[in-house]
Amino acid sequence: MELEAELHETKKPIMVLGTSSGAGKSLTVTAICRILKNLGEEPIPFKGQNMSNNAWVDWEGGEMAYSQALQAFACGINPSAEMNPILLKPQGNSISEVIHLGKSIGTTTAQNYYKDWFIPGWEVIKKSLKSIYERNPNCRLIVEGAGSPVEMNLIHRDLTNLKVAKYLNANCILVTDIERGGVFAQIIGTLELMKPEEKKLIKGIIINRFRGDLSLFEEGKKWIENKTKIPVIGIIPWLNDSFPPEDSLDLLEKKSLDKNPEIKVGILKLPSISNFSDFDPLENEETILIEWIRKSRNLSKYDFIILPGSKQTIKDQIFLEKSGLSQDIRDYSKNEGNIIGICGGLQMLGASLEDPYFKEGSKNHSEQKIKGIGLLPLKTTFFKKKLTRQINSKSIWPCQSEINGFEIHNGQTVLDDVQSSIKINPIFEDSDLGWYKENNKGGTIAGTYIHGIFENDSWRTHYINLIRKRKNLPILNTKSISYKEKRQSIIDNLANEFHKNLSLKSFLS
C-alpha cells in the first residue's frame, strides 16, 4: 500500500522549505522539533537527501548528516540513518560518495547522479518513511527540504523537496532569510515558480534573522499576506546560535563571542574538511577563542592547534605541504606547541600515507604514497572499505575517564617501524584509537580517530587544564556543566525564541 493511503491515520507532517540554501531550514526544524516535544507530541526529523561532510554515526554504525542527528536530540530520541536516508559526501571535482540508509554504496559525478541514482534514491526515501511510520505510528514527521525547491533546471529530478512534500501531503512552511536582502522577491519568486498543486501545500511563511524593531516590518508582513494569500506565521529575530553550519564554507563566518580569551585555538581550514561539529564543545567554552587557519603563517600565538577530519586526506596533506602549512606546523611543534589531530588530522600527523585504491584524493600513482607531516611515528594505508561505528572506551591520557564518540574513516594506522626510536603512548585503553607524545621543550602532539572527543567533559577539561597550567592560569573545575547539557540548553533557548515569535496552531490539527 502506498504511504499516501496510510497517512490519513497519522498526524499531518510539517515540512520546512527555504527560498535558498542557508535560509535557516535546519535550525527551524530543530526548533519545531523541541517545541512539539515540549507540547507532548512525538516529533521525528526527516531529510530525504542531504549533501554534507559533517556527519554522525548512529548506533547501528550508519552514517547520516549531523544536522538530522541534532534534530533528533531536539526530539529527545536517538538519531537513526532512516532520518536521512540519502547522504551525499562531496569529494571535490563534482564527485560525491553516495550513502543509502547509512551505508556507502558508491560514488557518482554530478552529471550522472540523477541518471544512475534517482530511482534507487526515491525507493530508499519511501522505504525509510514507511519504516519510521511502522515503528512510530503516533509520530509527527518534521521534514526539511534542501536548498531551493524551485531550481528549474533540476526540479524534474529533485528528490527531497516538492516530491517529498506531495508524497506526504505535508503542511509546508516557506522560510526566507531577510538578512540576505530581497526578501519580497525571494518569497514571490519562489511561489510563482511552483505549480498550483505545489503552492497549495505552502500553509505559512517565516521571515528569518530579522534585526531591529519588529513593528517596522508590519507593512511588509501585510503586503506579503495580501500578495500571496498565505499567512506570515513567524518573524524570527537574529539569534546568536552556537550550532555548526551545514556548509564548511560558512565556518569562516563563525565568530567567537569572547573578546578577552584566555586560550587561543587555531583550527586548520582544510579544503576537504569534515565533521567540523567536533569543535562545538570548544566554541561553547567561555575562555576559548577559535580562529580558522587557511594560509601559511607563524602559529606561535595559538595555545593549541587542531588538524580536523578530512574527506580527502591525501589531497589535504598535499595542500598543507604546498601551502607551507606543514612546515608551519612542524616549526610550531618545536616551540612547545600543542597539537591535536582528529581522524584525517591524525593520519596527516604521521610519517606516511598510502592510497593504493585511490580512495583518499590521490590523483595519480605519484600521489599514492606520500609523506605526512612526520610528527608522530605512524603510517596509514587506505583500503576499500570504510569503518563506521560508535565508540565506548576509556582514556589513559590526559586523564582516566569513560569516552564516547564515533569513528568514520577509511584507512588503518599502525606504528611505523622505520621511526621505532620515537616513543609514543596510547591515549586510550583501545590502543589503536589514538596516540600522543610529549615534546622535548614541553607541549604535546596527539591524534585520535574518535569524532566527538571534545564532547567528553572530563577529557576536554583535563586537556584544556594542561594548557592552562603551562600558562599559569587557574585550573578549570572538572565538574562544571557538561557540554551535552549545554547543547540541550542551547536547543531550549532556540525553541523558546521560535515559540515566542511563531504560531504553529494551524499546523497541529
Which residues are identified as catalytic? 343, 451
| Distance between CA atoms of residues 204 and 210, nearest Å | 17
Q: Is residue 453 within 8 Å of 405, Cβ to Cβ?
A: yes
Cis peptide before 45 (omega within 30 of 0): no
User: Position of cell 530508499?
Assistant: 124
Residue with cell 534573522: 209
The one-letter amino acid code at 343 reads: C
- Distance between CA atoms of 65 and 81, rounded to whole angstroms? 8
Would you tell me how many other CB atoms lie within 10 Å of the CB of residue 192?
10
H helix intervals, 145-304: 162-168, 183-192, 196-199, 218-228, 280-283
Distance from first CA to last CA of the chain, Å, rounded? 25
Q: How far apart are CA 408 and CA 87, in angstroms?
A: 14
Which residues on adjacent β-strands are paired with residue 339?
305, 445
How many other CB atoms are found less than 10 A from the CB of residue 505?
Answer: 7
Cell digits for 63?
Answer: 552514517
Contacts of 501 (CB under 8 A, 6+ apart): 234, 235, 236, 237
Do residues 125 and 146 touch, judged by C-beta distance below 8 A?
Answer: no
Contact 75, 488 (CB under 8 A): no
Long-range Cβ contacts of 95-103 (<8 Å, 24+ apart):
96/51, 97/311, 99/63, 100/124, 101/62, 101/127, 101/128, 102/58, 102/60, 102/61, 102/62, 102/63, 102/64, 102/388, 103/62, 103/63
